[in-house]
């Protein structure tokens, strides 16, 4: 798998490159400015991009805005945001564009290498992986369709947002997989997500939730 790294911290940039190389990934480029990121993506077409949010020159939200631009130029480009911060201004736009293949992890909360690599693979495969703290901050103090869900349904949706499977949700909540499926069906109904062969409703449920929270 070919990976682009967008990170301005030299030690972290080198560390990620070494980690990914050891794990069998190919690092196509390690860059730290918006122009360099877009040029490298256009030239090398990586399978997934790992991007910090705060990059030169202002160290505010260049990485996040560049991720949005990159996906506009290359629809469906898998992007894993890896940051110390939750930026609400543009995060919902990126997460709710309906294309999936997006992840948002907080650096300080990545505790195991294998979990990080698994998240990277899932994003590259079209999945959505979100740190629960990111979800919590994006929806804080905002009313959304989730307000109409039961407490158990909200727990199930939160675990869905983390990328958990039905089996994993069942184990974590100590309920049957049949009960999990029922709760997910209720979530789809309350979020107005009818059956659609062209849309992965599991991902759509999370994205619809975040899109409503960002309004």
Q: Convert the pLDDT of each residue in 66-117 to its tens digit.
A: 999 999 999 999 999 999 888 877 777 787 776 789 999 999 888 889 999 9
pLDDT at 146 over 80: no
In a domain, 136, yes or no: no
In a domain, 178, yes or no: yes
Give me the CATH number covering residue 213: 1.10.10.10
| Claim to verify: residue 1 and residue 81 sit in the same structural domain | yes
What pLDDT, on a 0 to 100 scale, did the predictor assign at position 207?
72
Last residue of a domain, one of 131, 150, 174: 131
What pLDDT, on a 0 to 100 scale, did the predictor assign at position 94?
81
What pLDDT, on a 0 to 100 scale, did the predictor assign at position 197?
46
Query: Do 48 and 123 form a contact (C-beta atoms < 8 A)?
Result: yes
Name the β-bridge partners of 3.
27, 48
In a domain, 41, yes or no: yes
Q: pLDDT, tens digit, for every residue of 167-213?
A: 999 999 999 999 999 999 998 888 877 776 445 677 778 776 666 55
Query: Do 120 and 103 form a contact (C-beta atoms < 8 A)?
Result: yes
What pLDDT, on a 0 to 100 scale, did the predictor assign at position 141?
41
| Claim to verify: residue 117 and residue 177 sit in the same structural domain | no
Give me the CATH number covering residue 98: 3.40.50.2300
Report the 10 Å Cβ neighbour count for 40: 20
Report the 10 Å Cβ neighbour count for 174: 6
Q: Which residue has the tokens 């300080």?
A: 108
Which has more confidence, 6 or 110? 6
| Claim to verify: residue 113 and residue 9 sit in the same structural domain | yes
What pLDDT, on a 0 to 100 scale, did the predictor assign at position 154?
85
Last residue of a domain, one of 104, 131, 158: 131
Q: pLDDT, tens digit, for every residue of 120-139?
A: 999 999 998 988 888 777 76
Mean pLDDT for 141-163 is 78
| Claim to verify: residue 118 and residue 185 sit in the same structural domain | no
What pLDDT, on a 0 to 100 scale, did the predictor assign at position 133?
82
In a domain, 39, yes or no: yes
In a domain, 25, yes or no: yes
| Claim to verify: residue 109 and residue 187 sit in the same structural domain | no
| Claim to verify: residue 118 and residue 147 sit in the same structural domain | no
| Claim to verify: residue 127 and residue 145 sit in the same structural domain | no
Burial of 189 (0-12, 13-18, 19+ CB in 10 A): exposed
Helix H, strand E, coil C: the string for the chain is: CEEEEECCCHHHHHHHHHHHHHCCCEEEEEECCHHHHHHHHHHHCCCEEEECCCCCCCCCCHHHHHHHHHHHHCCCCCEEEEECCCCHHHHHHHHCCCCCCEEEEEHHHCCCHHHHHHHHHHHHCCCEEECHHHHHHHHCCCCCHHHHCCHHHHHHHHHHHCCCCHHHHHHHHCCCHHHHHHHHHHHHHHCCCCCCCCCCHHHHHHHHHHHHHCC
| Claim to verify: residue 31 and residue 111 sit in the same structural domain | yes
What pLDDT, on a 0 to 100 scale, did the predictor assign at position 52?
95
| Claim to verify: residue 126 and residue 148 sit in the same structural domain | no
| Claim to verify: residue 8 and residue 66 sit in the same structural domain | yes
Last residue of a domain, one of 72, 103, 131: 131
What pLDDT, on a 0 to 100 scale, did the predictor assign at position 140?
59
What pLDDT, on a 0 to 100 scale, did the predictor assign at position 22?
95
Mean pLDDT for 4-30 is 95
> ∠ at Cα 119 (121, 171), nearest 5°?
120
What is the domain range of residue 187? 141-215
What pLDDT, on a 0 to 100 scale, did the predictor assign at position 12?
93
| Claim to verify: residue 106 and residue 149 sit in the same structural domain | no
Please report, to the nearest 10 degrees, the dihedral formed by the alpha carbons of residues 117, 119, 123, 124 taken in order: 20
Number of domains in the chain: 2
| Claim to verify: residue 127 and residue 163 sit in the same structural domain | no
In a domain, 161, yes or no: yes
């Amino acid at each position: 798998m070919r990976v682009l790294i967008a990170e301005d911290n030299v030690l972290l940039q080198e560390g990620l490159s070494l980690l990914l190389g050891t794990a069998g990934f190919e690092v196509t480029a390690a860059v730290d400015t918006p122009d360099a990121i877009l040029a490298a993506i256009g030239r090398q077409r990586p399978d997934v991009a790992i991007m910090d949010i705060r990059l030169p020159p202002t160290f505010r939200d260049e990485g996040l805005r560049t991720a949005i631009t990159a996906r506009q130029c290359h629809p469906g480009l898998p992007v894993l945001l890896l940051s110390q911060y939750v930026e609400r201004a543009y995060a919902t736009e990126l997460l709710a564009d309906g294309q999936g293949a997006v992840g948002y992890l907080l650096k300080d909360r990545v505790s195991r290498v294998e979990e990080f690599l698994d998240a990277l693979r899932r994003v590259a495969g079209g999945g959505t992986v979100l740190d629960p703290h990111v979800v919590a901050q994006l929806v804080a103090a905002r009313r959304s369709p989730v307000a109409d869900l039961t407490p158990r349904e909200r727990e199930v949706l939160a675990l869905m947002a983390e990328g958990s499977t039905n089996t994993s949700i069942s184990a974590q909540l100590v309920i049957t997989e049949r009960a999990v499926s029922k709760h997910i069906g209720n979530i789809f109904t309350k979020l107005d997500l009818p059956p659609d062969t062209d849309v992965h409703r599991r991902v759509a449920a999370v994205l619809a939730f975040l899109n409503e929270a960002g309004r």
